[in-house]
Each structure stands twice: as structure tokens, then as C-alpha cells.
Amino acid sequence: MDVAQALEDVIEELVSIQKDVNKLKTASVSGQALRKRVKETHKKWLPVAGVLETGSIVDTSKLQEVSDAWTALVKLANLAKPKSQYRALLKVIIASTESEILHKFIKGSAIETIGDTLRKLVQPVSDPELLKYLDESIRCAEMKCVRASVVLAWCAVAHMVHRKLTSLGITALNAEFVRMKADKGLMFRTFTKDYVFSTEPDVKEAADAHLILLCRFLTYLDDTQYKHLKGALDLRNGCGHPTGYQPEPVKLQAYYSDIAQLVLLNSKFS
């Protein structure tokens, strides 16, 4: 059963019933046809509810609230009852089914399959050091710890950036930072930091924002690639600090796609 589609169908039919109830010129819903539609739609809801009850994605208390409202609505449909009672119940069922069940189900289903999706994106990666970070990141995503997943995946990016820049040699790297500071181009004119590294581990203390800017300066990235990598870093920073931001699975997938294309699988960083 396509649960999401079945929920959407039920909601669509309920909205249609709601409109027809509102159009009634009588104070009660007495027509057999409309009351029959309520019962038929309830029959469509029951198997969906059964599937949801056996899973762990949707909050069982919310599911019970909707089921209770359905029970009351079907009871109304057995006799001619005031349409104000129909309106109240239909409003509750439609709103809760959409926000508390359908949306939560779609989001939860995405989390349940996110691991396979992310592994496919980084499948060509063979470096054991990178795989260590990525595997832990993906396992965090599967446990619904999306922010932790973002932060750990960036560790793999930082590892490759550090390795690429230190391959220049410390003396040459210091010189490139001096050149970038002197550059008056639009992208580099705001860079004013003085970096003087003595050893390779010192490079890890530099701000990631400055390191990827240097990657742009050295043309490992073009303007568009740099913009998207900076966006990925912004997401990492947003997830690595105490904020209320919770990225969606779709956001995590796009993040992985970007870091894979821009750095992890980019031949200029190999």
C-alpha cells in the first residue's frame, strides 16, 4: 500500500465532503448520499490506520485522536445531525491527518531510507579515513540525528581540504595566504587574516571558511562551486551550534550531493 497516496486520497475526499456540507441550506445533514460518502471514506481510512498502527513513524496518540474523531463522525452519519457538528469534526480530522500524520509519515519514511540514498552518493569513495567519517555520519542520519550527520560529513570534507592544501608545502601555503590577502578582487578583498603555519597540524586550526576561500583562490573551485561549498559549510555551522534548526532529510541529501561533487569526488582534491 502506498500509505502517503492513500492518506492524500482520504484528505481530498474529506475536503470535498466538507465543501458539500458547507453548501447545505438546511441546518442538518439529512441527505443519505452525503452521509453514505462519510462512511465510504471511513472505510478507506481504516486500512491506512491499520498500517500506521503497526509502524513507529506516526505518534500513536495523534493517530488515536484522529480515529476517535472518525468514530464520532461515522456515528453522526447514522442519523440526521446538525451540520455544525460535521464541520467541527471534519475540520479536526482534515487538519490532523495532514499535519500530524501525512507530513510526519513522509518525513519519517524519508529518514528510514536515507541511509541507502547517502551511501549511493558517496559509493565511489575508497579512502578509509574518509569512509570512517562518512559511515558514522550516515549511521547518525539513520538514527534521526540529522544535525550530527551533517557535522560528521563535513569532517570528511575538511580532511580532504587540509590534505590538498598541505600537499603544497607549509612555506608555499603561507605564501598563498599572503597572496590572497593582497588580492583586491571582489571575492577576496574582505580577507584580512594573517596566517603563519609552522607544521601541517597548524593548518587544522585555521577557519574552514578561509581554507575553502583559498581553494577558490587556487582555482580548485570555480565561483559557482565555491558558492555551493560555502553554503554546505554554513549548514554545517548551523548544525554544529546550539540552534533550533533541524534540517529535513531532503536537505541532508542535497548537502551530501554537494560535498561529494565539490570535494569528495572532485579530482582536483585527490
Please report, rounded to a whole number, the percentage of residues in the chain having pLDDT higher than 70. 98
- Tell me if 42 sits within 8 A of 70, measured CB to CB: yes
pLDDT value at 50 more than 80: yes
Alpha helix stretches (DSSP H) within the chain = 3-23, 32-54, 60-77, 83-96, 103-121, 128-142, 146-166, 170-182, 200-203, 208-217, 223-240, 249-259
pLDDT at position 38: 92
| Angstrom distance (rounded) from CA 74 to CA 180 | 72
| Angstrom distance (rounded) from CA 167 to CA 193 | 21
Q: Which helix (H) or strand (E) holds 28?
A: strand 28-29
- Residue 109 binned pLDDT confidence (cut-offs 50, 70, 90): low
Q: Give yes or no: residues 147 and 249 share one domain.
A: yes
pLDDT at position 213: 97
* Structural domain harbouring 247: 122-269
- Tell me if 144 sits within 8 A of 249, measured CB to CB: no
| Angstrom distance (rounded) from CA 236 to CA 149 | 9
Q: Give yes or no: residues 201 and 132 share one domain.
A: yes
Mean pLDDT of 194-200: 95
87 backbone φψ class: left, alpha, beta (φ>0; ψ -120 to 50): alpha
- Residue 111 binned pLDDT confidence (cut-offs 50, 70, 90): low
pLDDT at position 112: 66
Mean pLDDT of 113-118: 85
Q: Give yes or no: residues 151 and 264 share one domain.
A: yes
Residue ending a domain, choose from 88, 112, 136:
112
Q: Give yes or no: residues 39 and 146 share one domain.
A: no
90 lies in some domain: yes
- Residue 220 binned pLDDT confidence (cut-offs 50, 70, 90): very high
Cell of 150: 551533517
Q: Give yes or no: residues 183 and 230 share one domain.
A: yes
117 lies in some domain: no
| Angstrom distance (rounded) from CA 50 to CA 52 | 5
| Angstrom distance (rounded) from CA 91 to CA 129 | 53
Sole residue written with cell 600537499: 167
Cell of 22: 458547507
Q: Give yes or no: residues 127 and 256 share one domain.
A: yes
| Angstrom distance (rounded) from CA 91 to CA 213 | 52
Q: Give yes or no: residues 53 and 99 share one domain.
A: yes
Mean pLDDT of 36-60: 89
Residue ending a domain, choose from 112, 143, 158:
112
Q: Give yes or no: residues 20 and 86 share one domain.
A: yes
- Tell me if 207 sits within 8 A of 236, measured CB to CB: no
